Amino acid sequence: MIDIESVIPHREPIKIIAQAIELQDSSGTATAVVNERWPLFDGRTVHSIVLIEAVAQTAALVEGYKRKKKGQDAIKGWMVGIKSAEFHRDVLDLQTCITVSITSQYSFDDYAVINGTVTSGNETLLTAVIQAIRLNKDEG
């Protein structure tokens, strides 16, 4: 569908999302498989706090996709804060397939509030609301 690395600044080892499934102007879905290269891998599992990063990267993917459609460069330099988060697991087993879905709840200029959900099959792993503030300014 889209080359993720062409629209988000994240690279290994911090890059978590692996494939874009659906992208719209204010929502998107991406997938990934938990592996030993992920941040917070302890030799056996990965701490679930890393799922916040998966939500943030999916939000960056949607924003980058939207900008790319307009002929603009992807934005680098978002500061993300956690408004709320409910984790349903403490750790993630290796090879767990996750789906990350985000929806923009609100956005204005350089500020956005994003709802995110991470699932594995029918199990919800995380529901979160994050805030993102763009730090670098450009014409778009």
pLDDT at 134: 82
Confidence at 140, pLDDT banded by 50, 70, 90: very low
Domain extent for 83:
4-134
In a domain, 16, yes or no: yes
List the structure tokens of 93: 């087993």
Give dist(CA 107, CA 114) in Å, integer.
Answer: 9
Please write the tens of the pLDDT for every residue from 8-37: 877 788 899 999 999 999 999 999 999 999
Please state the pTM of the whole predicted model.
0.92
Two tokens at 140? 């778009």
**Peptide bond preceding 13: is omega within 30 degrees of 0, i.e. cis?**
yes
Residue 131 has pLDDT above 80, yes or no: yes
105: three-class secondary structure by DSSP = strand
Residue 40 lies in a domain: yes
* Tokens linked to 65: 């996709």
pLDDT for 58-99, tens place per residue?
A: 999 998 888 888 888 766 677 899 999 999 999 999 999 999
> Which amino acid does the sequence have at 101?
S
Could you tell me if residue 68 is inside a domain?
A: yes
Q: Which CATH number is 100's domain given? A: 3.10.129.10
Is there a domain that residue 66 lies in? yes
Q: How many domains would you assign to the chain?
A: 1
Residue 140 counted as domain residue: no
H or E element in which residue 111 lies: strand 111-120
Residue 139 lies in a domain: no
pLDDT at 135 over 90: no
Whether residue 130 lies inside any domain: the answer is: yes
Question: Would you state the pLDDT for residue 2?
Answer: 81
